[in-house]
Amino acid sequence: MSQTVSPMVRKLTMPRPSKHYQPVHRDNSGPLSESIDASADNRLPARAIHVARNEELTSSIPVRGVARDNRDILDVRLGEWTGCITTKEATPRPQVTPEVSKRGRRRILIQKYMFQISIVTANGLGIFATWWFPHYWYLLMPFISAGVMMNIAMIITLLVNLLYRRCYPEKPLIPQTPESLVLLVPCYNETKDEMERSLNSLVIQKGISDHRRCIMIICDGRARGYGMEKTTGEYLFEDILTQKDYRVRIPKAYLAWDQQFMDVEVQRGTYHGVSYFCIIKQQNQGKRDSLIAVRSFLYNYNIRHTNPETIFTPTFFGHMASFIKESGIDYIDNLIGMDADTVFDDHCISELLRRSRFEDTVGSVVTRKVSCLPGCCQLLRICEETCGREVLLKRFGYCPVPTDGVLRHVRATASEDRNHVCHMLSARPRAQTRQALHAVAYTDVPQSWSVFLSQRRRWTLGATSNDLFLSCAPGVQWFERILACTNVMTWFLNVFIFASMARFIMAMFYVDAWIIFCFIAIASIPIVYYAIIPLWHSKQWHEAFRFWIGCLIYIFCGPFVNIAILLYSCHYLDSFGWGKTRLVVSDDKRDVNGQATEQTPLLQRI
């Protein structure tokens, strides 16, 4: 579970430059006039590009910061990757006409209203039965106590596993050479301060000095948040990543998840001694598209000797592959994922690595649920189970069409990392994920009620829709399936369960005392477990007290907040954007100096 703190200013100790990094020397770092228009109108439909007759000649791409002699060197380096891959053909998508869009919107509205009626009916009937037939309370106990019983079952299994591992310790698989790491930072409209804090927390990591590593940054379009003078991409290129080897704009660089070629602008260099590769997408396609692009590249880089069919053009693949190769990485072992508004603890990555060194483990996570890989702090092993074509492109990479239902739209736009691992658990049942409880990350919490509700709407709809997927998907482990069904039922009957608790308090006056005592004792087991967590997890007492205070607030206020989130989520069930969590500012209303004004309208993220 990520801990939340207010933004901090930390003194940054710069690491020494990596001995594996070989910079491209440059004689000219001045600006270059734009010669390629990457507007939406010029975005071309996808088509297959054969390496042998690729029209995108490397020498025709404008490069910033590279002299002509070194430009020839760059061409030679890119030429080494010619023939390693082929570019896949685009999957035909249904033609979207105004009539199709209207029909799809009508279908979503109908499903939304049916869902709302179902929730009102189910909770209403449950509340009526509880209050009208109080003497048959035991018939409703399975619905009321399902969540508590599942928590108790998980606590018991954890304790049994703890005792078993004390007697038969699990031996980690220590590699002969330290694992190679790619540190991925996806971003959208984060501020300069947020980006610098996240990047600085990566370069000062302790315990990984022997690991070959590099940073990849991918920015989803050119968006500017409220109060920002520049877009996140402009902050990166102009203010943060000032040590660059070159910058290049690549048209039709890769096949986005909507089956259109995406134009990108890339820059390569070093950030406080660690090599980086920054990608600025020219169109906003969402975080999922960014994750697919980078994860797919890392996997295909590892299998490049098999001449794989990829979503990348040879030019773009060559730029990324030469960067990875010249960073001293011939094979990528692990991907470290974070969000751009997240700060890693100094030992976060080393703890993730420690928990990943076990058989069949493909991910280490900071979480309290088995079925969730949070994007803000994760380790993914680059392999077929996590980044192969079946899981990453065919399942996780499905782009919904207007006629798809509500659930498909929700899964495609909310809880991207959770949806990825749910597909993995279904397609690759042998794959395992592990908790890394001592890998700590920090993030900023919402500062207003409206932003909080908007954030939790995405989280609760994403989590519930993915749990519904696990309830029915083939290949899912049986306990995971039961847990998912329980989560869906508990969420669906939230109001009824809350009302039942009130009725239970009233039942104390006419139900035998021993029955009430047994129920309270059983229901208290998860609370006792919560209370003792800091005894083995917290390093300082003030952290334990802060946890206990938060736990009390959750116990007494959580039911009310959960109902508020449920009602808010049901009302905005057909809203698939980021809502108020990530607002952006349009560029059509600025002052004479080109700065944003307070009257600049806010646009929701697509």
Alpha-carbon distance 579 to 581, whole Å?
A: 6
Q: Count H helices and E strands in the chain, helices first.
A: 16, 17
Other CB atoms within 10 Å distance of the CB of residue 167:
6
Q: What is the pLDDT of residues 544-573, one digit of tens each?
A: 888 899 889 988 898 899 999 999 999 999
Structure confidence at residue 65 (pLDDT): 52
Q: pTM of the entire structure?
A: 0.81
With vertex at residue 117, the alpha carbon angle to CA 113 and CA 122, rounded to the nearest 5 degrees, is 150
Structure confidence at residue 15 (pLDDT): 39
Q: Mean pLDDT across the chain, nearest whole number?
A: 81
Alpha-carbon distance 197 to 11, whole Å?
A: 11
Structure confidence at residue 588 (pLDDT): 38
Instruction: Indicate left, alpha or beta for 96 from its phi (over 0: left) and psi (-120 to 50: alpha).
Output: beta
Q: What is the pLDDT of residues 111-168, one digit of tens each?
A: 999 999 999 999 999 888 887 877 776 777 788 888 889 999 999 998 999 899 899 9
Closest CA to 356 of 330, 377, 327, 339: 377
Structure confidence at residue 68 (pLDDT): 56
475-478 contacts, C-beta under 8 A, 24 or more apart: 475/425, 475/426, 475/427, 475/428, 475/429, 476/425, 476/426, 476/429, 477/425, 477/429
Residue 356 near residue 434 (C-beta atoms within 8 A): yes
| Residues in the chain with pLDDT values less than 70 | 1-73, 137, 360-374, 538-539, 578-606
